Amino acid sequence: MSYPYFLTRFDSTMIILIPAIILTLYAQSRVKSSFDKYLRVQARKGYSGAQVARMILDNNGLHNISVEMTPGYLSDHYDPTKRVLRLSGEVFQGRSIAAVSVAAHEAGHAIQHSSGYMPLSVRNMIFPVAKFGSSAAWGFIIIGLFIPELGVLMDIGIFLFAAAVAFQVITLPVEFNASRRALKLLESNGFIVAGEEQGAEKVLKAAALTYIAAMASGITQLIRLILIRNRSRRR
């Protein structure tokens, strides 16, 4: 019985994933340390994350968007389909610099949605394909590798995986813009005082690094899959 070439010897293409893996581990460590650090630093104005989110939404005419508490650690997100802003317990109830920063960031996404921010619209448009691609891609890829006669399935898998990577790429400007909005909203609405913006910026920058790492990981994995496909077809 013959095996695909990539199973018969060391896969040298794994090497290109190493920098992305290191960046991912660093980003995860950075966001956790920054969030945990500023979760212990109380914002002097004393607003909770839920209050900050609610006031930002109301000040922008988004009274129809509800703010809810959701379980999990760093599980904060804005759901554009249900028009709900969900905050983790630490953020919803917390009155720390980390809590108000994350709450303002998620409120920034709601403002993006209501104003028709183009990158967010594009991201929402490709989300269904990206979601399917991230879950189904590997099935097509593995079948295509094991059965050379069905090599076209690997092409389909790579295309689906590329859609998931495209989603990660378009996520970057969406997240960066939401963080810039958050800092401006925190300062202009008086939710933080002079000196606290530095902590808020560190929390938001650390979070942004995780999206950069995810994009880098996706791109390098896509390159690796293309190399494996090309190598398998030369044999």
Identify the residue whose tokens are 């109380």: 42
Identify the active-site residue in 90, 106, 175, 196. Answer: 106
Tokens representing 153 are 């399935």
Per-residue pLDDT reduced to its tens digit, 153-165:
999 999 999 999 9
The residue type at 213 = A
Identify the residue whose tokens are 């929390």: 203
Identify the residue whose tokens are 């919803």: 92
Per-residue pLDDT reduced to its tens digit, 91-132:
999 999 999 999 999 999 999 999 999 999 999 899 888 988
Question: What pTM, to 2 d.p., does this model score?
Answer: 0.86
Is-catalytic flag, 68? no
Q: Which of 1, 15, 21 is nearest to 228 (CA)?
A: 15
pLDDT at 88 over 50: yes
Q: Tell me how far apart the alpha carbons of residues 13 and 169 are, in angstroms, rounded to a whole number.
A: 22
Bridge-based pairing state of the strands 77-79 and 66-70: unpaired
User: Which residues are CB-contacts of 38 (< 8 A; sequence separation ≥ 6)?
Assistant: 96, 97, 98, 101, 199, 200, 202, 203
Tokens representing 30 are 């950075």
Rounded mean pLDDT, 166-171: 94
Q: Tell me how far apart the alpha carbons of residues 80 and 1 are, in angstroms, rounded to a whole number.
A: 51
Range of the domain at 10: 5-233
Number of domains observed in the structure of the chain: 1
